A and B are shown apart, each in its own frame.
Chain A
Protein backbone atom coordinates (compact mmCIF):
# COMPACT_ATOMS: atom_id res chain seq x y z
CA UNK A 1 0.00 0.00 0.00
CA UNK A 2 2.37 2.62 -1.16
CA UNK A 3 2.68 5.60 -3.39
CA UNK A 4 3.48 3.56 -6.49
CA UNK A 5 -0.17 2.94 -7.29
CA UNK A 6 -0.64 6.66 -7.90
CA UNK A 7 2.17 6.64 -10.43
CA UNK A 8 0.74 3.49 -11.98
CA UNK A 9 -2.63 5.17 -12.50
CA UNK A 10 -0.96 8.29 -13.89
CA UNK A 11 1.11 6.15 -16.26
CA UNK A 12 -1.97 4.29 -17.48
CA UNK A 13 -3.73 7.60 -18.02
CA UNK A 14 -0.89 9.06 -20.08
CA UNK A 15 -0.51 5.83 -22.06
CA UNK A 16 -4.18 5.67 -22.93
CA UNK A 17 -4.10 9.29 -24.01
CA UNK A 18 -1.08 8.67 -26.24
CA UNK A 19 -2.50 5.50 -27.74
CA UNK A 20 -5.81 7.23 -28.33
CA UNK A 21 -4.10 10.12 -30.10
CA UNK A 22 -2.00 7.79 -32.28
CA UNK A 23 -5.02 5.72 -33.28
CA UNK A 24 -7.05 8.86 -33.92
CA UNK A 25 -4.39 10.38 -36.17
CA UNK A 26 -3.95 7.11 -38.06
CA UNK A 27 -7.59 7.29 -38.97
CA UNK A 28 -9.03 4.62 -36.63
CA UNK A 29 -11.37 6.67 -34.42
CA UNK A 30 -13.47 3.74 -33.24
CA UNK A 31 -10.44 1.75 -32.04
CA UNK A 32 -9.08 4.81 -30.27
CA UNK A 33 -12.28 5.24 -28.27
CA UNK A 34 -12.11 1.55 -27.39
CA UNK A 35 -8.49 1.92 -26.28
CA UNK A 36 -9.34 4.90 -24.10
CA UNK A 37 -12.25 3.00 -22.62
CA UNK A 38 -10.00 0.03 -21.90
CA UNK A 39 -7.57 2.33 -20.06
CA UNK A 40 -10.35 3.72 -17.92
CA UNK A 41 -11.65 0.24 -17.11
CA UNK A 42 -8.20 -0.96 -16.04
CA UNK A 43 -7.77 1.99 -13.71
CA UNK A 44 -11.25 1.56 -12.30
CA UNK A 45 -10.54 -2.06 -11.44
CA UNK A 46 -7.37 -1.03 -9.59
CA UNK A 47 -9.25 1.70 -7.72
CA UNK A 48 -12.28 -0.40 -6.84
CA UNK A 49 -10.03 -3.11 -5.43
CA UNK A 50 -8.38 -0.67 -3.07
CA UNK A 51 -11.60 1.05 -2.00
CA UNK A 52 -13.17 -2.35 -1.31
CA UNK A 53 -10.20 -3.23 0.82
CA UNK A 54 -10.55 0.07 2.70
CA UNK A 55 -14.23 -0.52 3.39
CA UNK A 56 -13.55 -4.07 4.61
CA UNK A 57 -10.82 -2.86 6.98
CA UNK A 58 -13.04 -0.14 8.37
CA UNK A 59 -15.90 -2.60 8.74
CA UNK A 60 -13.64 -4.98 10.62
CA UNK A 61 -12.21 -2.24 12.82
CA UNK A 62 -15.50 -0.62 13.78
CA UNK A 63 -17.07 -4.13 14.10
CA UNK A 64 -20.08 -3.32 11.93
Chain B
Protein backbone atom coordinates (compact mmCIF):
# COMPACT_ATOMS: atom_id res chain seq x y z
CA UNK B 1 0.00 0.00 0.00
CA UNK B 2 2.92 2.33 0.65
CA UNK B 3 4.05 1.93 -2.96
CA UNK B 4 0.77 3.49 -4.01
CA UNK B 5 1.49 6.52 -1.84
CA UNK B 6 5.01 6.65 -3.23
CA UNK B 7 3.67 6.62 -6.77
CA UNK B 8 1.08 9.31 -6.06
CA UNK B 9 3.63 11.56 -4.37
CA UNK B 10 6.13 11.12 -7.20
CA UNK B 11 3.47 12.12 -9.70
CA UNK B 12 2.53 15.23 -7.74
CA UNK B 13 6.16 16.24 -7.21
CA UNK B 14 6.87 15.77 -10.91
CA UNK B 15 3.91 17.93 -11.90
CA UNK B 16 5.04 20.68 -9.54
CA UNK B 17 8.59 20.46 -10.85
CA UNK B 18 7.25 20.70 -14.39
CA UNK B 19 5.25 23.81 -13.55
CA UNK B 20 8.23 25.45 -11.86
CA UNK B 21 10.65 24.71 -14.66
CA UNK B 22 8.27 25.48 -17.56
CA UNK B 23 8.73 29.28 -17.67
CA UNK B 24 12.49 28.98 -17.11
CA UNK B 25 13.20 26.23 -19.62
CA UNK B 26 10.15 24.76 -21.40
CA UNK B 27 12.09 21.82 -22.95
CA UNK B 28 13.17 20.50 -19.53
CA UNK B 29 9.54 20.41 -18.37
CA UNK B 30 8.75 17.67 -20.87
CA UNK B 31 11.91 15.75 -19.94
CA UNK B 32 10.97 15.94 -16.26
CA UNK B 33 7.48 14.59 -16.94
CA UNK B 34 8.90 11.70 -18.95
CA UNK B 35 11.37 10.86 -16.22
CA UNK B 36 8.61 10.98 -13.58
CA UNK B 37 6.72 8.38 -15.60
CA UNK B 38 9.82 6.22 -15.92
CA UNK B 39 10.39 6.28 -12.15
CA UNK B 40 6.79 5.28 -11.46
CA UNK B 41 7.06 2.39 -13.90
CA UNK B 42 10.24 1.20 -12.21
CA UNK B 43 8.35 0.98 -8.92
CA UNK B 44 5.62 -1.02 -10.63
CA UNK B 45 7.97 -3.49 -12.34
CA UNK B 46 8.59 -5.41 -9.11
CA UNK B 47 4.87 -6.06 -8.76
CA UNK B 48 4.57 -6.95 -12.43
CA UNK B 49 7.25 -9.58 -11.93
CA UNK B 50 5.26 -11.37 -9.25
CA UNK B 51 2.06 -11.14 -11.33
CA UNK B 52 3.88 -12.81 -14.22
CA UNK B 53 5.11 -15.61 -11.95
CA UNK B 54 1.57 -16.47 -10.87
CA UNK B 55 0.37 -16.33 -14.49
CA UNK B 56 3.22 -18.62 -15.43
CA UNK B 57 2.29 -21.25 -12.87
CA UNK B 58 -1.41 -21.07 -13.79
CA UNK B 59 -0.49 -21.43 -17.46
CA UNK B 60 1.66 -24.48 -16.80
CA UNK B 61 -1.29 -26.16 -15.09
CA UNK B 62 -3.40 -25.62 -18.21
CA UNK B 63 -0.86 -27.64 -20.22
CA UNK B 64 -0.99 -25.49 -23.38
CA UNK B 65 2.29 -25.16 -25.24
CA UNK B 66 4.35 -22.30 -23.86
CA UNK B 67 4.90 -20.53 -27.22
CA UNK B 68 1.32 -19.27 -27.02
CA UNK B 69 2.02 -17.86 -23.57
CA UNK B 70 5.19 -16.03 -24.54
CA UNK B 71 3.49 -14.45 -27.55
CA UNK B 72 0.73 -13.08 -25.33
CA UNK B 73 3.31 -11.52 -23.03
CA UNK B 74 5.33 -10.16 -25.92
CA UNK B 75 2.17 -8.48 -27.20
CA UNK B 76 1.55 -6.92 -23.79
CA UNK B 77 5.12 -5.64 -23.74
CA UNK B 78 4.89 -4.20 -27.25
CA UNK B 79 1.57 -2.60 -26.37
CA UNK B 80 3.02 -0.92 -23.30
CA UNK B 81 6.18 0.33 -25.03
CA UNK B 82 4.30 1.81 -27.96
CA UNK B 83 1.82 3.48 -25.62
CA UNK B 84 4.77 4.88 -23.62
CA UNK B 85 6.36 6.38 -26.73
CA UNK B 86 3.05 7.58 -28.16
CA UNK B 87 2.23 9.43 -24.93
CA UNK B 88 5.68 11.10 -25.00
CA UNK B 89 5.02 12.17 -28.60
CA UNK B 90 1.63 13.62 -27.75
CA UNK B 91 3.13 15.32 -24.68
CA UNK B 92 5.65 17.14 -26.78
CA UNK B 93 2.80 18.29 -29.00
CA UNK B 94 3.23 16.24 -32.18
CA UNK B 95 0.04 14.22 -31.97
CA UNK B 96 0.29 12.84 -35.50
CA UNK B 97 3.64 11.20 -34.71
CA UNK B 98 2.10 9.55 -31.65
CA UNK B 99 -0.71 8.14 -33.77
CA UNK B 100 1.82 6.73 -36.24
CA UNK B 101 3.69 5.07 -33.40
CA UNK B 102 0.42 3.53 -32.23
CA UNK B 103 -0.25 2.30 -35.77
CA UNK B 104 3.22 0.75 -35.88
CA UNK B 105 2.59 -0.97 -32.55
CA UNK B 106 -0.72 -2.37 -33.79
CA UNK B 107 0.96 -3.70 -36.94
CA UNK B 108 3.67 -5.38 -34.88
CA UNK B 109 1.07 -6.94 -32.56
CA UNK B 110 -0.84 -8.22 -35.59
CA UNK B 111 2.32 -9.73 -37.03
CA UNK B 112 2.95 -11.52 -33.74
CA UNK B 113 -0.64 -12.72 -33.42
CA UNK B 114 -0.86 -14.22 -36.93
CA UNK B 115 0.82 -17.57 -36.08
CA UNK B 116 -1.71 -18.08 -33.29
CA UNK B 117 -4.57 -17.54 -35.72
CA UNK B 118 -3.08 -19.95 -38.23
CA UNK B 119 -2.53 -22.59 -35.54
CA UNK B 120 -6.17 -22.27 -34.47
CA UNK B 121 -7.28 -22.66 -38.10
CA UNK B 122 -5.15 -25.79 -38.44
CA UNK B 123 -6.79 -27.27 -35.35
CA UNK B 124 -10.26 -26.46 -36.71
CA UNK B 125 -9.44 -27.94 -40.09
CA UNK B 126 -8.41 -31.22 -38.45
CA UNK B 127 -11.70 -31.41 -36.54
CA UNK B 128 -13.79 -30.99 -39.68
CA UNK B 129 -14.81 -34.34 -41.27
CA UNK B 130 -13.09 -34.89 -44.62
Interface size on A, residues (CB 8 A): 28
How many contacts A-B (CB < 8 Å)? 76
Chain A residue at minimal CB-CB distance from B75:
A62
Q: Once the chains are docked, how many angstroms separate the CA of A50 from the CA of B31? A: 11
In terms of DSSP, what is the predominant structure of the interface of chain B? Answer: helix
Known: A17-B25, A62-B74, A63-B74. A57 touches B42 (CB 8 A): yes
B59 within 8 Å of A (CB atoms):
no
Chain B interface residue bracket vs A: 20 to 34
Partner among A5, A13, A63, A64 whose Cβ is within 8 Å of the Cβ of B39: A5
Known: A59-B77, A63-B70. A54 touches B20 (CB 8 A): no
Partner among A9, A12, A17, A58 whose Cβ is within 8 Å of the Cβ of B81: A58
Q: Once the chains are docked, how many angstroms separate the CA of A54 from the CA of B48? A: 13
Are A9 and B74 neighbours in the complex by a CB distance under 8 Å?
no
Min distance, Cβ A57 to any Cβ of chain B, angstroms: 6
A30 within 8 Å of B (CB atoms):
no
